[in-house]
Amino acid sequence: DAYLAAIDAANPQLNAYVTVTHDKARQMAATSDERLARGEAGALEGIPLGIKDLFATEGVHTQACSHILDSFLPRYESTVTANLWADGAVMLGKLNMDEFAMGSSNETSYYGPVKNPWRAKGSNLDLVPGGSSGGSAAAVSAFLCAGATATDTGGSIRQPAAFTGTVGIKPTYGRCSRWGTVAFASSLDQAGPIARDVRDAAILLRSMASVDPKDTTSVDHPVPDYEASIGGSIKGMKIGVPKEYRVDNMPEEIEALWQKGIDWMRDAGAEIVDISLPHTKYALPAYYIVAPAEASSNLARYDGVRYGLRQSGGDILGMYEKTRASGFGREVKRRVMIGTYVLSAGYYDAYYVRAQKVRTLIKKDFEDAFAAGIDTILTPATPSAAFGIADQDMAADPVKMYLNDIFTVTVNMAGLPGIAVPAGLDGRGLPLGLQLIGKPFDEETLFRTGHVIE
């Protein structure tokens, strides 16, 4: 009730939730009370969570914040949310996000932008919470849920976490089932939690993760007790600092934050090693070929027949055209156009195949670093703090918006786990985050090391 009251009071301002499931929340909480009374509590019994609108929730609107999924009511539950409910968690509602998870500011949502609960000192300017999981990050940061689900295709858990002073982890590709999660770029998409601290993130990920016969890319690898890794020493650990992440025009504050992180690691007994990930500079352009290519294919299913919105347009082709023209927003259309272009005969080899080769090289850079004995890699999470809603520069140039993902996309291209942990405030009092990148299925090292930063 306290969380629902907080949502009702703050959401008209923040716009973090697109659906609040008052009745369902109370029902689930009552069931939790009964289970607690019987001494049958699950790991998350009674814990109120917000769910990104990308996860299918049975009987509860699931629209990926797109007009084209208007009034879509799934008859099934995503595996990740089913795992959370099985452990006793309570659903508060569905969280705002960029349309189909395409964006870095939450401004592409059909339901309008989310406001970051943080503002710069002495300023009235409303800031973005980052994206695409902007609603998840804002809701956690503003105490409108105890934790939230999110997804990360190219940074959408870690960048919003960094912009809102929360913790976000994208686990190894295959750690969580993608079943029942609206697909954006299937070879990159991965679910994970956004939480108030590293311990909460560890507890949530343990419940979310599972191998699932309904997603053949989920991996049968034991899910450890992540919480147990927190508080352990990082003495003797080798922490890589990649020189290629020192990008041009990096603000001094980000540089200083990174140095602070390096000092903390050293003080905790870790060994700092300068490393090179030579193909880093190709990651962003390659990502913005691979992700739209997969998106254009995944979004072909929204044809006005099977889901949500349908506009009449004379014959069937007219219906397809009218439905897709009015149902998709500008950014989604841009991705579909880029994707179909790079997959078309004549351009396929020059763009798509080449981007896939670059992807292999990026993956190999990380493999080489880990093979040389590096345990985890420390970088900034984002190239800046949160920026203003309707930022003129970003609106005028989509590539400027894409540059927000410069430190995060490499991790998705390589399928590795990455965590963003709040590490301090900039001169204006806005949160900044550091990122740790780990070996495949070594989320434990990220929790252990992340806890040293927070």
Identify which of 114, 91, 92 has the alpha carbon closest to the alpha carbon of residue 103. 114
Q: Name the residue nearer to ligand GLN (CB basis): 168 or 440.
A: 168
Binding residues (CB under 6 A) for ligand GLN: these are: 101-104, 132, 152-156, 184, 291, 405
Q: Exactly one of 32, 133, 156, 210 is catalytic; which is it?
A: 156
Min CB(139)–ligand GLN separation in Å = 17
- Catalytic residue status for 94: no
Element housing 376 (H / E): strand 376-380
Which residue, 17, 189, 199, is CA-closest to 97? 17
CB under 8 Å to 357, separation ≥6 — which residues? none
Task: Give the shortest CB-270-to-ligand GLN separation in angstroms.
Answer: 29
Q: How far is the CB of 212 from ligand GLN (least distance, A)?
A: 20
DSSP state of 113: P
Is the CB of 19 or the CB of 156 nearer to ligand GLN? 156
**Residue whose CB is less far from ligand GLN, 48 or 180:** 180
46 or 155: CB nearest ligand GLN: 155
Q: Please give the single-letter amino acid code of residue 355.
A: A
353: left (phi over 0), alpha (psi -120 to 50) or beta: alpha
Q: At residue 52, what is the residue type?
A: K
- B/e letters for 311-335, b = 16+ CB within 10 Å, e = fewer, are eebeeeeebbebbbeebbbebbeeb
Using the minimum distance from each CB to ligand GLN, give the nearer residue, 238 or 335: 335
Side-chain-side CA neighbours of 352 within 13 Å: the count stands at: 18
With respect to ligand GLN, which residue has the nearer C-beta, 81 or 156? 156
156 catalytically annotated:
yes
- Output the smallest distance, CB 37 to ligand GLN, in A: 41
- Closest approach of Cβ 200 to ligand GLN, in Å? 21
CB of 119: closest distance to ligand GLN in angstroms?
23
Of 66, 78, 104, 132, the catalytic one is 132
Beta-carbon neighbour count of residue 33 at 10 Å? 12
Q: How far is the CB of 102 from ligand GLN (least distance, A)?
A: 5
In angstroms, how far apart are the furthest CA atoms of the chain? 70
3-state secondary structure of 386: coil
**449 within 8 A of 272, measured Cβ to Cβ:** no
Q: What is the DSSP string of 246-273?
A: S-TT--HHHHHHHHHHHHHHHHTTPEEE
Q: Output the residue with the shortest Cβ distance to ligand GLN.
A: 156
Closer to ligand GLN at the Cβ: 132 or 177? Answer: 132
Residues 6 or more apart in contact with residue 262 via CB below 8 angstroms = 239, 241, 272, 378
The residues near 154 (Cβ < 8 Å, ≥ 6 apart) are 185, 188, 287, 291, 405, 408, 409, 412
Give the integer Cα–Cα distance in Å for 143 and 290: 36
Q: Please, what's the b/e burial string for 160-181 (b: 16 or more CB within 10 A of its CB; e: otherwise)?
A: bbbbbbbbbbbbbbbbbbbbbb
Min dist CB 56 to ligand GLN, Å, is: 17
Annotated catalytic residue 132:
yes
HSE, side-chain direction, 13 A CA sphere, residue 94? 19
Which CB atom, from 45 or from 331, has the smaller least distance to ligand GLN? 331
Minimum distance of ligand GLN from residue 54's CB (angstroms): 9
Dist CA 61 CA 111 (whole Å): 13
First to last CA, the chain: 30
Instruction: Tell me which of 32, 52, 136, 177 is the catalytic residue.
Output: 52
Nearer to ligand GLN, 90 or 385 (CB): 385
Q: Which residues are designated catalytic? A: 52, 132, 156
